[in-house]
């Protein structure tokens, strides 16, 4: 007698959720994805897919799509407080990427490619979310915000750094959040500067402002980042307070920053958050597991959030395909992925944060390093990006 299909509910339809859904469906699971937004988010700030994650998207068959959508930035220019040039470099020299192999795409392009692979095979519940989870020996009873009630064999939280699933099962985020001392605001603004396929970054100690043109005439992605010793908890859920805080921090800034602050005031797509990581002793409890940023957000300072999400989804699905017992599967997932996660999270301690110095001396040292990269432009790939070798996916039952 053929065993019943394992039913899995995934919370979150951004990156790790659809990637996990693809691999779980391939292994014979019946998969449902619930997403609180009414539809996929289009556009979005550019993200990188590097190292081991490139092999994941290649095995999914979406690498050619992502290569077609590759942004192909030509240069990163760093500026002093008065707007004069420090250095102009290739993006790979700055990020430790591998030219011709790694890809950088709009977040929405990656999400759309992933969704396109699973939308016909997986149930999606948009404009809904999990209200309560009640685990038993037989499964997980789920009450949705819509009022619907269903039971699943397993539930996976793929709902981001501020995961509701994690909070419901493991407790408050404060237990697992490692604040890295920075806040940032991202938004779009008109490209009135003539920028094309390039990034320009202005720095003073503890402050950075960047304009990123991902195309020739597209809107600019604007980025304002600043050092804050303690997280501004009062501002995290108050958009007006966020705008006021950013405007205050950059009040005396030069270059094009005053115009950026004005554009931020009017932006309808402002995203404000703290730079932080999620560090947990375990990524599962009973029949509930976490993947991607919900389990191990590395922070934007590493540039590895999307890559960890893709690799983690593959490894979790492979573990569940290999082990019928979910407890054994979750243990294998953690055992095989944790070192890879730790290496990538450690990038913030190994120099990734040096792009955003907080002291005059550190800024001088960073600028000296950047000028040195101009004369020695060959990029050195970061070992953490490719530190995990993917196993062959378990055979389809």
Strands 75-79 and 198-204: parallel
* pLDDT, tens only, 7-61: 999 999 999 999 999 999 999 999 999 999 999 887 778 899 999 999 999 999 9
Tokens representing 273 are: 């958050």
Q: How many residues does the chain have?
A: 397
Please count the other Cβ atoms lying within 10 Å of the Cβ belonging to residue 162.
Answer: 16
Q: What is the residue whose two structure tokens read 């004369």? A: 375
pLDDT band at 3 (very low <50, low <70, confident <90, very high): low
Instruction: Specify the pLDDT at position 1.
Output: 47
Cβ 137 vs Cβ 326: under 8 Å: no
Q: Please choose, from the candidates 13, 10, 7, the residue with its C-alpha nearest in 3D space to the C-alpha of residue 27.
A: 7
Q: What is the residue whose two structure tokens read 């997280």? A: 231
Q: Rounded CA gap, 41 and 24, in Å?
A: 23
pLDDT at 204 over 70: yes
Tokens representing 315 are: 């490894």
Cβ 90 vs Cβ 379: under 8 Å: yes
Instruction: Specify the pLDDT at position 379.
Output: 55
Helix ranges restricted to H, 154-304:
164-170, 239-249, 257-266, 293-296
Instruction: Specify the pLDDT at position 72.
Output: 81
Tokens representing 139 are: 């499964």
Residue 118 or residue 40, greater confidence = 118
Q: Please choose, from the candidates 382, 390, 292, the residue with its C-alpha nearest in 3D space to the C-alpha of residue 336.
A: 390
**Gap between the terminal Cα atoms of the chain:** 13
Positive or negative, the CA dihedral 116, 117, 123, 127 is negative
Measure the CA dihedral 50/53/59/64, to 10°: -30
* pLDDT, tens only, 317-332: 999 999 999 999 999 9
Tokens representing 358 are: 């907080």
pLDDT at 247 over 70: yes
* pLDDT, tens only, 55-90: 999 999 999 999 999 988 888 999 999 999 999 988
Q: Rounded CA gap, 289 and 337, in Å?
A: 14
């Amino acid at each position: 007698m053929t065993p019943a299909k394992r039913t899995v509910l995934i919370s979150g339809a951004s990156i790790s959720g659809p990637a996990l859904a693809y691999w779980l469906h391939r292994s014979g699971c019946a998969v449902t994805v619930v997403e609180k937004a009414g539809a996929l988010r289009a556009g979005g700030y550019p993200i990188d897919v590097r190292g081991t994650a490139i092999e994941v998207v290649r095995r999914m068959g979406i690498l050619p799509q992502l290569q077609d959508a590759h942004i192909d930035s030509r240069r990163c220019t760093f500026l002093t407080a008065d707007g004069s040039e420090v250095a102009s470099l290739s993006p790979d020299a700055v990020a430790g990427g591998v030219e011709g192999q790694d890809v950088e795409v709009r977040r929405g392009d990656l999400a759309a490619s992933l969704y396109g692979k699973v939308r016909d095979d997986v149930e999606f519940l948009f404009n809904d979310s999990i209200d309560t989870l009640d685990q038993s020996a037989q499964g997980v009873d789920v009450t949705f915000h819509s009022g619907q009630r269903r039971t699943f064999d397993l539930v996976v939280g793929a709902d981001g750094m501020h995961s509701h699933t994690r909070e419901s099962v493991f407790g408050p985020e404060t237990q697992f959040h490692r604040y890295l001392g920075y806040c940032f605001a991202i938004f779009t603004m008109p490209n009135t500067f003539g920028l094309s396929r390039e990034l320009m970054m202005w720095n003073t100690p503890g402050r950075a402002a960047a304009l990123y043109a991902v195309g020739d005439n597209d809107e600019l992605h604007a980025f304002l980042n600043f050092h804050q010793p303690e997280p501004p908890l009062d501002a995290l859920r108050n958009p007006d307070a966020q705008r006021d805080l950013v405007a205050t921090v950059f009040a005396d800034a030069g270059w094009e920053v005053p115009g950026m602050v004005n554009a931020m005031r009017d932006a309808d797509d402002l995203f404000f958050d703290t730079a932080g990581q999620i560090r947990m002793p375990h990524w599962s409890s009973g029949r509930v597991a976490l993947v991607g940023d919900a389990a191990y957000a590395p922070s934007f300072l590493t540039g590895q959030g999307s890559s960890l999400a893709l690799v983690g989804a593959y490894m979790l699905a492979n573990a569940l395909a290999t082990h019928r017992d979910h407890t054994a599967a979750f243990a294998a997932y953690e055992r095989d992925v944790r070192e890879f996660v730790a290496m990538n999270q450690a990038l913030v301690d190994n120099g990734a944060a040096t792009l955003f110095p907080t002291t005059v001396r550190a800024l001088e040292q960073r600028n000296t390093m950047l000028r040195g990269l101009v004369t020695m432009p060959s990029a050195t790939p970061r070992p953490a990006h490719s530190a995990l070798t993917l196993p062959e996916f378990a055979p389809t039952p």
